[in-house]
């Protein structure tokens, strides 16, 4: 009898613990092959297609679109097809001769290759997870049978009782598996509060804060009846679903905020990109002793230079941000202290070990506003690219992040960030450093202002540059030197580009 295999949601990169299921790419009863995309999920970083490590027939889908799935929990159950089940039976060679025999041999060889691939996996890795590669066969011994039953007890993709187990013995085994599962789902910091996936989902759907629920089960176990009682006592809540990529809002009827006395109109869960941004910004403000310097810059020459390029090459002229990015990477070579990372950790003696890591190259991040929130893709080895090449990468990555298709590597590998908030019509801002980087450069809008040029008052194109930096890695002299270098390059772009 072929045993159903349960695929657990893998770690999708950088230790992410959950993902929102956007939609299924397969349905129950469909035939799937190894590495075929089976679901599309949204993490705090991007939208990812999850491939199947198994081939066979889809037996069960463990989730609904819009549901937040925990890493390590069942995602899909697949019943391997007969052809993909590995056996020790010898391969029989057909007796036919001539062309028929040759075709049979080829078919037999292809089938054996397929079975081998099913045993070893394709080797294609989904960040932090993948089907096994190489020629080694993954073996599972019989004594691990009980453990596997416990591991998937909450998914119930098949009858987890061994064949022939009935009555009290079966009930005992099931109870032991459930108890072991509950022990694995303890809520950190909540002594005795043990919550099953079903109960967690029910509480989430009805807006029940489990931190305020007193469990009636053994050792304070929060049972389904406890959540149902909390729902009965709570004000009427009517969920309103939107598309998977939009923020789901929960309409609250007849609810009043205790502090202000005002009625509550909506509750918006913080999740996905917004949740990641909130955590990152909080950590930045908490850990980094930041300082800010700024300067007004006459960008007239840069604007005129780009206008001339655009006139001669309408489709190929780099944008202003690409030129500024080129000046930034050159400035970071002269002031490498701003292209570092500060690391603090407990050393072997129990003390605080601190280091500043310097990098051989610049991965330049730039802030991009999308429908899913603010994201910061990074241009790898930006210091080796020309302004035209930087412009190409800025356009490509902007399109990728707005489609929600950026990879974790594209979103999490920056060493310095440029934030062009001038596109929002503002002049300046003390931006929050994109942790764990140590500095961020803000660029305000370019507007006409009165300016003294060559001793005379004139109307010039002026912008404001703002540099926020980690005071642990450098002093004001370094920060000011870098900012002045970029400002001078913007004011004299021709000579600056000649020297780059």
- Residue positions annotated with a catalytic role: 471
CA atoms of 389 and 410, how far apart (whole Å) = 17
How far apart are alpha carbons 488 and 397 in whole angstroms?
Answer: 28
Give residue 314's Cα distance to chain centre: 36
**Cβ-Cβ contacts under 8 Å for 243 (sequence gap 6 or more):** none
Q: How far apart are CA 426 and CA 324, in angstroms?
A: 18
Task: Report the phi/psi class of residue 331: left, alpha or beta, with left for phi > 0 and alpha for psi in -120 to 50.
Answer: alpha
295, 464 Cβ separation under 8 angstroms: yes
Distance between CA atoms of 489 and 228, rounded to whole angstroms? 65
Helix, strand, coil percentages in the chain from 3-state DSSP, rounded to 5: 35, 25, 40
Strands in 80-178 per DSSP E: 125-126, 129-130
Instruction: Determine contact, residues 154/181, Cβ cutoff 8 Å.
Output: yes
Residue 192 Cα distances to 211, 220, 228, angstroms: 12, 5, 19
Instruction: Give whole-number Cα distances, 309 to 72, 489, 492, 493, 495, in Å.
Output: 53, 17, 16, 13, 16
Both structure tokens of 205? 């759907």
- Looking up tokens 């929990």 gives 73
Cα–Cα distances in angstroms (integers) from residue 484 to residues 25, 295, 446, 479, in the given order: 52, 8, 18, 9
Q: Which residues pair with 40 in a beta bridge?
A: 23, 49
Residue carrying the six token digits 């003696």? 349
């Amino acid at each position: 009898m072929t045993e159903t295999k349960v695929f657990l949601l893998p770690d999708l990169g950088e230790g992410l613990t959950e993902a929102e299921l956007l939609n299924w790419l397969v349905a129950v009863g469909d035939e799937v092959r190894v590495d075929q995309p089976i679901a599309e999920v949204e993490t705090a970083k991007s939208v990812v297609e999850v491939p199947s490590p198994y081939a066979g027939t889809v037996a069960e889908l463990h989730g609904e679109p819009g549901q937040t799935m925990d890493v390590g929990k069942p995602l899909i159950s697949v019943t391997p097809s007969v052809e993909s089940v590995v056996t020790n039976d010898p391969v029989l060679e057909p007796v036919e001769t001539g062309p028929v025999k040759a075709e049979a041999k080829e078919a037999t060889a292809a089938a054996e290759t397929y079975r081998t691939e099913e045993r070893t996996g394709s080797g294609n890795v989904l960040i932090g997870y993948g089907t096994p590669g190489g020629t080694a066969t993954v073996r599972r011994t019989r004594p691990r049978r009980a453990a596997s039953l416990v591991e998937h007890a909450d998914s119930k993709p098949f009858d987890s009782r061994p064949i022939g187990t009935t009555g009290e013995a079966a009930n005992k085994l099931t109870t032991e598996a459930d108890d072991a599962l509950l022990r694995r789902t303890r809520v950190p910091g909540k002594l005795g509060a043990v919550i099953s996936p079903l109960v967690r989902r029910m509480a989430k759907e009805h807006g029940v804060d489990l931190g305020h629920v007193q469990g009636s089960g053994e050792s304070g176990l929060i049972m389904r009846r406890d959540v149902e009682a909390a729902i009965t006592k709570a004000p009427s809540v009517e969920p309103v679903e939107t598309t998977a990529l939009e923020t789901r809002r929960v309409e609250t009827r007849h609810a009043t905020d205790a502090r202000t006395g005002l009625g509550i109109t909506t509750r918006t869960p913080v999740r996905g990109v917004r949740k990641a941004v909130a955590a990152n910004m909080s950590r930045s403000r908490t850990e980094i002793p930041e300082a800010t310097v700024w300067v007004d810059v006459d960008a007239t020459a840069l604007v005129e230079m780009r206008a001339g390029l655009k006139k001669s090459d309408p489709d190929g002229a780099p944008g202003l941000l690409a030129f500024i990015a080129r000046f930034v990477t050159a400035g970071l070579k002269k002031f490498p202290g701003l292209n570092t990372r500060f690391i603090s950790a407990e050393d072997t003696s129990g003390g605080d070990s601190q280091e500043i890591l310097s990098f051989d190259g610049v991965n330049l991040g730039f802030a991009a506003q999308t429908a899913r929130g603010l994201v910061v893709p990074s241009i790898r080895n930006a210091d080796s690219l020309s302004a035209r090449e930087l412009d190409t990468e800025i356009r490509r990555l902007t399109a990728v992040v707005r489609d929600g298709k950026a990879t974790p590597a594209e979103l999490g590998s920056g060493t310095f960030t440029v934030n062009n908030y001038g596109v929002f019509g503002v002049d300046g801002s003390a931006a929050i450093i994109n942790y764990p980087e140590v500095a961020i450069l803000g660029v305000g809008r370019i507007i006409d202002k009165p300016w003294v040029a060559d001793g005379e008052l004139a109307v010039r194109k002026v912008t404001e540059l703002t540099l926020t930096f980690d005071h642990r890695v450098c002093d004001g002299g370094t920060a000011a030197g870098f900012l002045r270098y970029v400002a001078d390059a913007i004011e004299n772009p021709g000579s600056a580009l000649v020297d780059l």
